[in-house]
Structure formats: structure tokens, C-alpha cells
Amino acid sequence: MTNQDLRVGLVGAGKMGADHALRIHERISGARLVAVADPDLDRAQQVADTAGARAQQDPFEVIAASDVDAVVIASPGVVHEPLLLAAIERGVPVLCEKPLTPDPKSSLRVLEAEEARGRRLVQVGFMRRFDAEYAELKRLLDTGELGRPLLLHCAHRNPTAPPGFTSQMMIFDSVVHEFDATRWLLGQELTAVSVRAGHSTALAAEGLVDPQVVSIETTGGVLVDVEIFVNCGFGYQVRCEAVGERGTALIGGDRGPVLHRGGQWGGAITADFRDRFGAAFDREVQRWADAARRGEVDRAAASAWDGYAAAAACEAGVQAQASGQRTEVELVDRPDFYA
């Protein structure tokens, strides 16, 4: 395989699928897109055309196709489980967009299937692990340059929420990134989640409680607060400040040139996640493809276990949101397979 291109099948041709298709076609070396599946065949065709691939309606046909060496799943989280199980059964590497699945029980079924197959095949698309600023923050924490970590202050702001976005989605669609980033940055599991909210912005749709503040506790006694604000109105912003015994480090501050023009000074704010994390997505997919061509998985990336642990935290978060109570995160013991 190493001298040949990795032939990729893409499942889901929405916003994220279209972005990954273009990425693989234009920027990823050693991989090419051969098929795109979406129940909406017109959408599949449009995306396939951007990358010289074929369009199909049935995702399982793409996963089973003999000219597909590896699969990218970019369909909604609620349909990930059967797609993942089909890819695992065929024994092909799969990069699955977050979330692995929407709840820990179904995530465990994916873990069991992968372990039964006897080979790590699944990577979850937690792209922040490939962001240069997050990587530097992790280095500072790992080397002890900040001293023992005490707190993380995080802000996750989206300019607008799409129609139908619910308060629960603020946890399992958005804060799921902070759940994964916290586990990865600290090398600790999450033990409990609490959620609080005050007034909602007038920009939020009816019924959406926005913003909210999520508190996370970890096995190492680190306290993490996350402002999740999905109608902040001004742009896309993801910040994280680590506070240690010997210093602090802040990432996600404003970047790029400071302009002085037209009687004003200032800089631009990224418009959305594709803009802010574009380079991280590129790195994630390139490393995934390189590892798949070697018959391996990228050990720096999020595994199915990481996807399960994030799903368990989401479940606790949604319960905490509904009850107003601190809710413990329930995790099974980590199988040696995921050590």
C-alpha cells in the first residue's frame, strides 16, 4: 500500500463532508477520493464533482466497495454507529467525525467490535489535537513548565447556531470538543460535570438557553470551566487558558495582523471552525492517511476509547443540564486494547 494512493470513500456530503472532500483532493498527499455517499444523491454528486469521485446514495455500498481502502464518516452523529460497524467488519481504517456516537452505550458497542476485530481501525475527528496552539499548550503542560495544572478556563463561541440547534446540542455537539481537549491536555479522565445558565442572549432562537457555563472535574483535581455561547454574534472563537502552580498560558487569542485603517485599528476574527481550525483539519487528515497507508492508526489522534470517554461526559453533561445537579461521569475500565 505504501507506494499507492489511499483510495478514500466519503460518507456524508454536508458541510463537513464537502470540506474534507476538497481537502483530500487539493491538499492531502498519498490519498485520493474515489466515492462519495449521501442519501441526498444530488448533494453527493456535487461534492463528488469537486474531487473527481463518483457519487452513490447508499453509504454501505461505498464502505463495501472493493476500490475503497479507507473511509471518512461525515454524516450526523446519530447514524455513525452502523457505518462504523460496517467499516470495522470490513477491516478498513475509518476517520469518523465527532461524535463517535451520540451516547456511551452505542460507543461501547463500537469499542467491542473493534476489539473483536483485533486491530485498531477507528480515529475520531477531534481536530483540536492537531492545532498548533493546542499542541504548544500541551507541551507546556507535559513538560511541567507551568507547574502542576490547577485550572482551565475555556470559551467556545460560535457566531450563530444553525436552525434546530438545542440546549442539549450545546453539550454533545459543541462542548464535546472541550471534553476531549481537557482529557488530552491533562492526561486525566473526567469525573463530574455541572451546568449553569443565566440570561439568554436575545439572538438565541426560542427555547435555546445560550450562553451556558459548564464545569468539569478531573481525576487529578483540576477544575475546568467552559463558556459555551453559540450565538455570540461576532465570529468564531475558541480559547483556553491553563493555570498552573508556576504560570499560565492562554491560547486562542486574536491572531493575524493588527490593521490601522479608516480611522480604526483592529484585526479580523475567524468566521467559523473551518477557518479557525483549517490547518488542524489538514494535519489530522494527512496524518490519518499516512498511518492508514502504513497499515497503522495515528496514536496522537483520538481513538474509539477517547470517543467513548467524551460520549460518557456528554451524557453526564446533558443530565446535569436537565437536573441542575453536579453529575458524575460513569466510565467502564479502559481495556488493555486501548492502552
Ligand X SMILES: NC(=O)C1=CN([C@@H]2O[C@H](COP(=O)(O)OP(=O)(O)OC[C@H]3O[C@@H](n4cnc5c(N)ncnc54)[C@H](O)[C@@H]3O)[C@@H](O)[C@H]2O)C=CC1
> 252: exposed, middle or buried (C-beta count within 10 Å: 0-12, 13-18, 19+)?
buried
Binding-site member from 158, 182, 194, 270 for ligand ISE (CB under 6 A): 158
Q: Which residue has the cell 494535519?
A: 283
Where is 194: in which H helix or E strand?
A: strand 190-197
Minimal CB distance residue for ligand X: 14
Give the distance between the most distant pair of CA atoms in the chain.
65
Task: Report the residue number, 140 or 232, with the smaller CB distance to ligand X.
Answer: 232
158 binds, among ligand X, ligand ISE, none (CB under 5 to 8 A by kind): ligand ISE
Residue 133 touching ligand ISE (CB under 6 A): no
Query: Hey, which residues between 256 and 275 contact ligand ISE (CB under 6 A)?
Result: 273
User: Could you give the 3-state DSSP secondary structure of residue 264?
Assistant: strand
Binding site partner of 79, from ligand ISE, ligand X, none, Cβ cut-off 5-8 A by kind:
ligand X
Residue with Cβ nearer ligand ISE (38 or 69): 38
Please identify, using beta-carbon distances, which residue of 24 and 140 lies nearer to ligand X. 24
Which of the listed partners (ligand X, ligand ISE, none) does 75 bind, with a CB threshold of 5 to 8 Å by partner kind?
A: ligand X
Q: How many CB atoms lie within 10 A of CB 105?
A: 13
**Nearest position to ligand ISE, beta carbon:** 174
Measured between alpha carbons, how far is 132 from 163 in angstroms, rounded to an integer?
32
174 binds, among ligand X, ligand ISE, none (CB under 5 to 8 A by kind): ligand ISE
Instruction: Tell me which residues touch ligand X (CB under 6 A).
Output: 11-17, 37-40, 43, 59, 74-77, 79, 97-98, 125, 127, 173, 273
Q: Which is nearer to ligand X, 12 or 307 (CB)?
A: 12
Q: What's the min distance (Å) between Cβ of 296 and ligand X?
A: 22
Give the residue with the Cβ less far from ligand ISE, 273 or 305. 273
Nearer to ligand X, 165 or 305 (CB): 165
3-state SS, residue 330: coil
Residues with Cβ within 8 Å of 97's Cβ and at least 6 positions away in sequence, in order, are 12, 16, 72, 73, 74, 75, 77, 80, 124, 125
**What residues between 51 and 70 interact with ligand ISE by CB under 6 A?**
none
Q: Which of ligand ISE, ligand X, none does residue 9 bind (CB under 5 to 8 Å by kind)?
A: none
b/e 207-226 (16+ beta carbons within 10 angstroms → b)? ebbbbbebbbbbeeebebbb
Q: Which is nearer to ligand X, 79 or 108 (CB)?
A: 79
Using the rule CB under 6 A, give the single segment among 48-56, 66-74, 169-177, 304-312 that binds ligand ISE. Answer: 169-177
Of 67, 127, 154, the C-alpha closest to 286 is: 127
The residue among 76, 70, 75, 81 whose CA lies nearest residue 121 is 70
229 binds ligand ISE (CB under 6 A): no
Burial of 91 (0-12, 13-18, 19+ CB in 10 A): exposed
Query: Nearest distance from residue 127's CB to ligand X, in Å?
Result: 5
For residue 153, the minimal CB distance to ligand ISE (Å) is 17
Count other Cβ atoms within 10 Å, centred on residue 176.
25
Residues numbered 85 to 124 that lie near ligand ISE (CB under 6 A) are none
Report which of 336, 318, 335 is spatially closest to residue 327, judged by C-alpha positions: 318
Site membership for ligand ISE, residue 126 (CB under 6 A): no
Burial per residue of 320-329, b for 16 or more beta-carbon CB atoms within 10 angstroms, e otherwise: bbeeeeebeb
For binding to ligand ISE (CB under 6 A), which residues are involved?
A: 158, 173-174, 177, 230, 273
